[in-house]
Structures are given as structure tokens and as C-alpha cells.
Amino acid sequence: MLISPAYAQTTGAAAQASGFASFLSLAPLVLVFIVFYFLMIRPQQRRVKALQDAVSAVKKGDSVVTAGGIVGRVTRVEDVFVEVEIAANTRVRIVKATIAEVTNPMSAKPAND
């Protein structure tokens, strides 16, 4: 009445076809993961590696931006800390890991004024 009749599962060629059909149902998920990897994950890993290299190579005179938005010029570099001059005669010590961007003032382009 309310229950539909149950059919026995076929064997042989139909069972092999259902295995291929289950593979085809997973194929879009695999394809989406591959696209995400090449369009999102891989470029992000490259940016992180480039930032880590720049932070480890920071030197006196470089201009840095911290994760908190403080902009300044590096005056002293230590193993873990960096001393940054944020205004005339105003120096702060920051942790190297909080540096979000490193720019070399020699390679910076002047504004088109």
C-alpha cells in the first residue's frame, strides 16, 4: 500500500556499470578540488612563502607594515624582534612575525605628482 516493492539487485554487467556510475558521481567533486587547488591554495602558499622570505631578510632601512597597520622604517634587527621608527624619535619594538609587508625604499616608485 504505502511501501513500494523492493527489487533484487542485478549481478554481472549491471553491477560493473554501477561501479563506473559511482566513480562518475565522485568525478565532479575531484574536479572541484583540483580547480580550488590551482586557483586558490597554490597561489596563497606562494604568497606566504614570499612573505616569510621577505620577513627573514628584513634589514635596516627597509620600510615595513605590521599586521596592526603600523608603518615605519626598520632601525635595528634582532632574532625575534625588530625596532621600527614610526615617527621622528619614536621607536617601537615589534615581533618579526607580525610584519605584513616589507618594502625596500630604494625600489619604491615615486608618485606622479
pLDDT tens digit string along 55-99?
999 999 999 999 999 999 999 999 999 999 999 999 999 999 999
Q: Rounded to whole angstroms, how far apart are CA atoms 27 and 31?
A: 6
Question: Can you list the positions of beta strands (E) in 1-113?
Answer: 63-66, 71-77, 81-87, 90-95, 99-103
Contact 63, 72 (CB under 8 A): yes
Q: Output the pLDDT for position 108.
A: 59
Mean pLDDT in residue range 12-27? 71
Q: Output the pLDDT for position 107.
A: 63
Q: What is the mean pLDDT of the chain?
A: 84
What pTM was estimated for this model as a whole? 0.64
| pLDDT band, residue 9 (cuts 50/70/90) | low
Mean pLDDT in residue range 20-30? 85
Residue in the structure block whose three cell numbers are 554481472: 12
Q: Output the pLDDT for position 71.
A: 94
Q: Output the pLDDT for position 103.
A: 86
Q: Output the pLDDT for position 21.
A: 81
Contact 54, 92 (CB under 8 A): no
